[in-house]
């Protein structure tokens, strides 16, 4: 009886592991971003690039702390087919976002999610920072919530950039 229970547990574990490994990659929603400058573009427009979609707020201490690393990664990889988009949460006053972007000289697009549509499309994001790394085909590779391992992030970006 004990062997049967162990065998069943192993079978369930293998099945769950196979499901996580073999399930199809989740495609990023085809949302439209509107930047601080009023320009619009969609996720579809970014196909062929590795994209970081980062939900943040000026009132989020961790978001502000991470922004220099987000800038650094963008500067390092932008010429290789990488794009970052900072999506300001709907509760963040647009004038605060504009002031932050200008004072920190953010080199990537900053989008306003004034109605929360983008956050809802990505799974009803409410906690910041939450970021999604998306491959060249538009599949979500990784979701980051809060603090993250910077070396692992860079390795994942480099692997995605090298992939066809």
pLDDT at site 156: 98
Contact 131, 54 (CB under 8 A): yes
| CA atoms of 32 and 44, how far apart (whole Å) | 9
Beta strands, E only, 57-128:
82-88, 110-112
In order of their start, the domains of the chain are 26-162 (3.40.30.10)
- pLDDT value of residue 20: 41
pLDDT at 62 over 50: yes
Sheet holding 82-88, edge to edge: 110-112, 82-88, 50-56, 130-134, 140-145
Q: Calculate the average pLDDT of the chain.
A: 90
Tell me 23's DSSP state.
Answer: S
């Amino acid at each position: 009886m004990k062997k049967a229970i162990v065998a069943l547990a192993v079978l369930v574990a293998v099945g769950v592991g196979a499901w996580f490994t073999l399930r199809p990659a989740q495609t990023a929603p085809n949302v439209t971003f509107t930047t601080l400058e009023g320009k619009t573009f969609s996720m579809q427009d970014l196909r062929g690039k590795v994209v970081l979609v980062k939900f943040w707020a000026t009132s989020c201490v961790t978001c502000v702390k991470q922004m220099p690393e987000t800038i650094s990664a963008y500067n390092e990889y932008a010429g290789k087919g990488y794009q970052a988009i900072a999506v300001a949460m709907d509760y963040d006053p647009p004038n605060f976002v504009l002031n932050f972007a200008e004072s920190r000289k953010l080199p990537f697009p900053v989008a306003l999610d004034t109605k929360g549509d983008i956050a809802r499309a990505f799974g009803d994001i409410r906690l910041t920072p939450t970021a999604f790394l998306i491959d060249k085909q538009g599949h979500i590779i990784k979701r980051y919530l809060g603090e993250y391992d910077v070396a692992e992030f860079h390795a994942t970006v480099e692997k995605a950039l090298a992939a066809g």
